[in-house]
Structure 1
Amino acid sequence: MALETLLLVEDDELLATQTRRALERHGLSVTLAADAGQARQCMASLPTLDAAVLDQNLGADNGLDLIAPLLTHFPQCRILVLTGYGSIAAAVAATRRGAHNYLTKPAGAGDILDALRLDPAQMESLPDSPPSLQRLEWEHIQRVLDAHGGNISHAAAALGIHRRTLQRRLKKRPSPVQFERERPGKN
């Protein structure tokens, strides 16, 4: 699919400017909006739109709420949701609302373009239901632990729990059977 016009909805001004410049270097005409209100104004004024990149968390607004209006105005628009807080549940919510793809930040222009151009048939399917709370807790703990270089004490402090509590939770990893049940096509 050829992409020529793109709407970038990002509330972080520096990130928005950098992403816009990078996408323009790839030959796209990029319209920038900092919040949902500006995005709606852009939708009303743009004659065509090939793609939209939406930040999921736009201050008081939710980028997911822009998916339906975008698809109403531009039915062929490919929508990519970007977020700094990626989870399977959020990806499921975004794609169910009509997003073409979902990426966690940081994502470079190449990653964004690849995600927008990817044929939906080539993408991994998402699970039919959100993961269990145990699975979400496990994934969150792993992200925090990784962000602190594997240091249990620092990760526990960041999570607001005692070090020994974190160690106990790490020993209670969700079973592989539960992971298999949550994977797409494994019902």
Structure 2
Amino acid sequence: MSDDQAETMAEGQDRSLLIVDDDKPFLSRLTRTMESRGFSVRCAESVAEGLEAIAQSPPAFAVIDMRLGDGNGLDVIAELKAKRPDARGVILTGYGNIVTAVTAVKFGAFDYLAKPADADEIYHALMAVQHDKAELPENPMSADRVRWEHIQRVYELCGRNVSETARRLNMHRRTLQRILAKRAPR
């Protein structure tokens, strides 16, 4: 879809947008760009500020960083969906993996983008009519990566409780903590 088609589609729409990110330079750049594209933007730098903004007036659109200084952006997207089910939220994160993408969508995110995402990608994710079918990857995940993804999935399903995850995976808690602290294998 072209920018013109997206603009036409959204003309009668509520164009309120909440951006929640603790990276101040990124937040100010994205705010200016989205305002230039016709959005009425409110900013928040923490989970608490994001929840407060939603309580005051739930926006039609949201761009939320997953990892914030005072918590997880998934809490903000879940609250947005509870207050305004038709809202379109996009989760941004520097820790892109399948588990967090699935979790974000389950919490109500419309889309999920790995940082660094530019304003065009974010805009197109917000305005997308439907998700395109994923293409077959040229380089599928390694066995180590699949194992790491599985551990991350169980960790999320256990409510990010390390002890419960270790028990369910039948592994030592400290071993699990070391795995969780490392970057994802390629």
Q: TM-score, normalised by structure 1?
A: 0.64
Q: How is 1:42-61 mapped onto 2 (pairs within 5 angstroms)?
A: 42-46=53-57, 48-61=58-71
Aligned to 1:81: 91
Aligned to 1:15: 26
Structure 1 residue 62 corresponds to structure 2 residue 62: no
Equivalent position SS for 1:122: coil
Instruction: Assess if the C-alpha contact under 8 Å between 1:56 and 1:62 holds in 2.
Output: yes
Distance in 2 separating the partners of 1:132 and 1:65: 31
Structure 1 residue 32 corresponds to structure 2 residue 40: no
Change (3 A) 1:26 1:36: same
Change (3 A) 1:35 1:79: same
Q: Say how many residue pairs are matched.
A: 135
CA root-mean-square deviation: 2.7
Q: Which runs of 4+ in 1 moved over 4 A?
A: 136-139
1:97 to 107, 112, 119: 107
For structure 2, list consecutive stretches of 5 or more residues without a partner in the other structure.
1-8, 136-140, 150-184
Aligned to 1:143: none
Equivalent position SS for 1:76: coil
Change (3 A) 1:69 1:138: closer
- Code of the aligned partner of 2:128: L
Instruction: Assess if the C-alpha contact under 8 Å between 2:88 and 2:109 holds in 1.
Output: yes
Distance in 2 separating the partners of 1:97 and 1:45: 21
Equivalent position SS for 1:75: coil
Distance in 1 separating the partners of 2:55 and 2:22: 20
Distance in 1 separating the partners of 2:133 and 2:109: 13
- Code of the aligned partner of 1:107: A
Aligned to 2:16: 5
- Code of the aligned partner of 2:51: R
Instruction: Assess if the C-alpha contact under 8 Å between 2:47 and 2:70 holds in 1.
Output: no
- Code of the aligned partner of 1:7: L
- Code of the aligned partner of 1:5: S
- Code of the aligned partner of 1:82: L
Equivalent position SS for 2:85: coil
Deviation at 1:136, TM superposition (A): 4.9
Change (3 A) 1:76 1:108: same
Q: TM-score, normalised by structure 2?
A: 0.65
Percent same amino acid at aligned positions?
39
Aligned to 2:163: none
Change (3 A) 1:64 1:138: closer
For structure 1, list consecutive stretches of 5 or more residues without a partner in the other structure.
126-130, 140-169, 174-187
Equivalent position SS for 2:43: strand
Distance in 2 separating the partners of 1:134 and 1:69: 34
